[in-house]
Structure 1
Amino acid sequence: MTLAAYDLTGRSALVTGAASGIGRACTALLASAGATVHCADVDEDGLAGTRALIKDAGGTAYVHPLDVTDRSRVEAVVASAVRASRRLDVLAAVAGVMHSSPVLQTRDEDLDRVMAVNFKGVLYACQESARAMIAAGTPGSLVTMASGAVDAASPDLLCYSAAKAAVVQLTRTLATELGPHRIRVNAVAPGWIRTPMTDRHDAELQSRAEAAITKITPLRRVGGPEEVAHTVLHLACDASAFTTGQIIRPNGGVAMPW
């Protein structure tokens, strides 16, 4: 194995949720590996920051305002990415939202919103990206974003956990269906990663949560977005050419499923 297996020069990648956190880290790392990156997010200001970061580093980036719950808009963004780059090789479906509430206090609108973004948004992106890859007759890699919440009971996280569990099953099903087309599909299930999503808590609560996670994590720390991005890069490139249908867990060892 050589570093050439991680070279994405000449390839095109679409990243949803690219405006911040894990999505921004993935976009920047894929660009540094040589890919032309298409940055998609509902946060247009954040997208501009991601694009500037990549261009300042010498990479090539396009921005696409995108609400992943809008199927027609997802179709348009994928089509735009293919037109601009003449190909689509990688999808990293990172866009997601968090919601916390006990099961008995969970409302229909809470569940509907989280499922729309965290599951349907991933489904739409995978469907349209796979269709583009099949039409071009080229191999590709779809990387979905699951969560460590799928590996344990997570109080107050019913909506989020259920949506991420659905992403895991989507990943496995797509890997089976798309393998004959030379399209690989894998999921990344991070543990606690310090991002704007986890930083939504007040500082004291954030500190207590991280201390508790650190105590039960074998590596005795929380993770950073770049560490998840490196897992995504591995799954996106030729280094993982014989890997599909897998759930990869950059989680510091906090969960070790068979």
Structure 2
Amino acid sequence: MSQILRLQGRVALVTGGGSGIGRAAALAFSRDGANVVVAGRRETELQETVMMICERGGDALAVPTDVSDSAQVRHLIAATLAQYGRLDAAFNNAGVEGFAPVSDMTEAEFDRVIATNLKGVWLSVKYQLEAMTAAGRGGAIVNTSSWLAHGASIGSAAYSASKGGLDAMIRAIALETGAQNIRINNVNPGIIDTPMARRLGANEE
């Protein structure tokens, strides 16, 4: 019995696709038949993800991107359309950690967390929606939020704010996109064994 490829002929974009949750998602999209575009700041890791997909018989493209920069996000969408001609699904997973007590965190560090985790998703969604709406085929967008959007730990003020803002933002955007048959949602995972979690010591005994 042949495998049913639910996403055959579709195109999926994954930000933060060089490692962790993003890489796992990119591989999952490819297993279901999608062509995959992976974006992130570290090109070497992105190319590793592309190689893993191609070794399994898939097709993928790496586009180095800082999602906090609007010009780079616009280039990402343009590169996706130039390579594959369409965009059907997006997983906005790019994010940065930023944990410190308020008294220790600098203004620049706070701005960095908000710029990537909140503004970066806003920019990504803005230009993904533009491509999907122009095509008129609908689509689906999922964004990585966090349990810290509704909880807290010591030093999580900036990170919690970025993810809480993301949840509120996506609830509002979802009201705008339904008429175009574009679904948009967040996922709020707990602690997952990823390079970021290990850097923060989340898996230490």
- TM-score calculated relative to the size of structure 1: 0.76
Matching of residue 97 in structure 1 with residue 85 in structure 2:
no
Q: Matches of 2:8 and 2:149 in 1, distance apart? A: 34
Q: Matches of 1:90 and 1:78 in 2, distance apart? A: 12
* More displaced 10-residue stretch of structure 1: 37-46 or 145-154: 145-154
Task: Show the counterpart of 1:211.
Answer: none
Q: How does 1:1-258 map to 2 (within 5 A)?
A: 7-201=6-200, 206-208=203-205
Partner letter of residue 17 of structure 1? G
Q: Matches of 1:153 and 1:160 in 2, distance apart? A: 9
Offset, 1:84: 1.2
Q: Matches of 2:31 and 2:8 in 1, distance apart? A: 9
Offset, 1:166: 1.1
Identity %: 37
Where 2:195 maps in the other structure, the secondary structure is coil
What whole-Å deviation, never above 9, does each CA across 1:181-240 have from its counterpart, x for those lacking one?
A: 1100010110010100011146xx7423xxxxxxxxxxxxxxxxxxxxxxxxxxxxxxxx
Partner letter of residue 105 of structure 2? T
Quick check: 2:145–2:187 contact (8 Å CA) kept in 1?
yes
Q: Matches of 1:206 and 1:180 in 2, distance apart? A: 43
Q: Matches of 2:191 and 2:152 in 1, distance apart? A: 15
- TM-score calculated relative to the size of structure 2: 0.95
Quick check: 2:8–2:33 contact (8 Å CA) kept in 1?
yes
Q: Matches of 1:52 and 1:177 in 2, distance apart? A: 37
Where 1:184 maps in the other structure, the secondary structure is strand
Partner letter of residue 35 of structure 1? A
What whole-Å deviation, never above 9, does each CA across 1:98-154 have from its counterpart, x for those lacking one?
A: 011112322211110000111111111100000001111111001111001112122
Quick check: 2:151–2:160 contact (8 Å CA) kept in 1?
no
Q: Matches of 2:149 and 2:66 in 1, distance apart? A: 24
Q: Aligned Cα RMSD in Å? A: 1.4
The gaps in structure 1 that reach 5 residues or longer are 209-258
Q: Matches of 1:169 and 1:88 in 2, distance apart? A: 25
Q: Matches of 2:203 and 2:91 in 1, distance apart? A: 27
Q: Matches of 1:121 and 1:201 in 2, distance apart? A: 22
Quick check: 2:37–2:60 contact (8 Å CA) kept in 1?
yes
